[in-house]
Structure 1
């Protein structure tokens, strides 16, 4: 009766209050936090899809960061003191912006990696070489992919003609 109706109303108002509070707190987050929360994390078997998604993320948030990754605009001002090259703190607004963009681009790429790979890639100090290393390791070998596709087509054709192969036979033929 009445108690059941009150319990239902209480549940619904609690749900609406929780949902409204969550919505307000999400809306009040800075754009950087929201975009970081939506970063596509690299799936090791889908590099090309991830690359497209991360590009789109940079296009939507800050295109200049994608340009840093493509062009490698990272520059550390230096000076020579007693024959030794030493880094100098950036002085111009342009230098400061370039370093800021470099750090943001590199950081975004690192955040988009699965946790177990972050330490391995942290040694790359600029966004361009970091992206090149990610491509090299995760893109895969095109020739190997083509061989796999041809073998898979052959297996499919054999199945059409009712010739069965065990997975072990397929693996051995692939090798």
Structure 2
């Protein structure tokens, strides 16, 4: 294998699993559950406090200006509010950087990490009926699982592990 091919394989691998400097990419929507697990590990590894805005949400502080409630300028936030703002921006950035160009286009309108995370879950995991259908289909595939003619043992094992994920 040439050095160029090795480099290409390494880049694909880095995109799939991420690196300490960049989150894993959601390259295939059919692989959402694996990506989600890798992304959760990435966030836990890089800065676990990023889960706060993703799971609990973020609301930018406001103040009253000319009898109207408006967002506080970033320069007027206190230290704790600035930390919360930074966590939200890092969380939102991490999620959006892990989407391909095509997927990002579909999820562009989400302004908070929590909203974007929930939208991804809704789209790729579905509601409770869809989840039940997926479980039923997986159960049927598992029950019908058997060795295929001319299949290598490694391929059989790979198919079996794919069913488990």
Normalised TM-score (structure 1): 0.62
Deviation at 1:67, TM superposition (A): 2.4
Instruction: Report what 1:104 is aligned to.
Output: 90
1:77 aligns with 2:61: yes
Task: Note the aligned Cα RMSD (angstroms).
Answer: 2.5
The reply on whether 1:87 has 2:71 as its aligned counterpart is yes
Unaligned runs of 5+ residues in structure 1 are 1-14, 16-32, 160-175
> What does residue 144 of structure 1 align with?
133
- 8 A contact 2:20–2:46 mirrored in 1: no
Q: 1:147 to 1:67 in 2, by over 3 A?
A: same
Given the two structures, how large is their TM-score scaled by the length of structure 2? 0.65
Aligned length: 124
Spell out, residue by residue over 1:42-100, the C-alpha distance to the aligned partner (whole angstroms, 9 max, x if none): 1301222111100100111111112221111x121212233322111142111111111
2:24 to 40, 51, 61: 40
Aligned counterparts of 1:156 and 1:52: Cα–Cα separation in 2:
25
Structure with max Cα Rg: 1
Residue 66 of structure 1 is matched in structure 2 by 51
Name stretches of at least 5 consecutive residues in structure 2 with no aligned partner.
Answer: 4-18, 149-165
